[in-house]
Amino acid sequence: MANIKEYASADTLQENLGLKSVLGEKISSILFFSSFIEFYLEKAIWKINKIDPSVERPITDKKPISELIKIFREDSEKFFNEDEKILIDMWCIGSINAFNIRNIIVHGVSIKVDDALSYVKDPDWGGVKRKHEPSIFWADEYSLDIVRDVMAVLLRIIFDIAMGNDSVTRILNSARHNILKEACSVIGELNCPEYNPEFEKY
């Protein structure tokens, strides 16, 4: 029987493909936070709609994250006042941008560029015809740190809403509102196709 570990030489292959340990740790953290955001977002939707998933099949069942964000955004129109809706809308836009970057990492192919990675989703190499335009994310330490921090902010906000730790109004009237605003602004710029990490350091 072949020695799987010896043949795989996973550490060597990872290094040759450009995934340094420090980048791998940050990417792992981003994916870790994103799974919890999805989990607590579903719970928040249940809470707002007073859904008991043990009694009825929830509207969130088998829905991808994009659909869950859409449902949450639509719910804000029904259940929150104007100021609260602005905060929920901000959170949703920030999440759309953050998860778009997450999807580029998960579904894209990486290219080693010096000490960083460039992820490309839906590449048109070789003249292949794609449904979508190529998406690119520059995954250096600095950019990954931003995504990681923004994911953590998004998770903390949705956790408090889902678990009833705080009302949307109290979040709105606390320092978390400005933190969320800044996080959503930064991730929006990072998700821009023209983004270049050398232009500006936050």
Hey, where are the domains in the chain?
A: 21-190
DSSP-assigned states of every residue in 7-24: HH-HHHHHHHTT--HHHH
5-24: average pLDDT: 91
- C-alpha 89/C-alpha 81 separation (Å) is 12
Instruction: Encode pLDDT of 113-159 as tens digits.
Output: 887 899 999 888 777 888 888 889 999 999 999 999 999 999 999 99
Q: At what angle do helices 141-163 and 21-49 cross, to 10 degrees?
A: 20
Which residue in 106, 105, 193, 97 sits closest to 150, CA to CA?
97
More confident residue, 11 or 130: 11
- C-alpha 176/C-alpha 114 separation (Å) is 37
Most confident of 94-103, 113-122, 166-175: 94-103
- C-alpha 93/C-alpha 146 separation (Å) is 16
- pLDDT attached to residue 197: 53
Amino acid at 13: L
- pLDDT attached to residue 198: 47
- C-alpha 16/C-alpha 26 separation (Å) is 18
Spatial contact of 161 and 39, defined as CB atoms under 8 Å apart = no
Cβ-proximal residues to 141 (8 Å cutoff; 6+ apart), any chain = 22, 23, 26, 116
DSSP-assigned states of every residue in 109-155: EEEEETTEEEEEES--GGG---SS--EEEEE-HHHHHHHHHHHHHHH
21-36: average pLDDT: 96
54-65: average pLDDT: 94
At 9, the pLDDT band (50, 70, 90 cuts) reads very high
- C-alpha 200/C-alpha 41 separation (Å) is 32
Which residue in 136, 131, 96, 99 sits closest to 116, CA to CA?
136
Strand 135-139's sheet: what is its strand order?
109-113, 116-121, 135-139
Instruction: Give the predicted TM-score (pTM) of the model.
Output: 0.90
The burial class, CB within 10 Å (0-12 / 13-18 / 19+), for 79 is middle
Instruction: Encode pLDDT of 85-96 as tens digits.
Output: 999 999 999 999
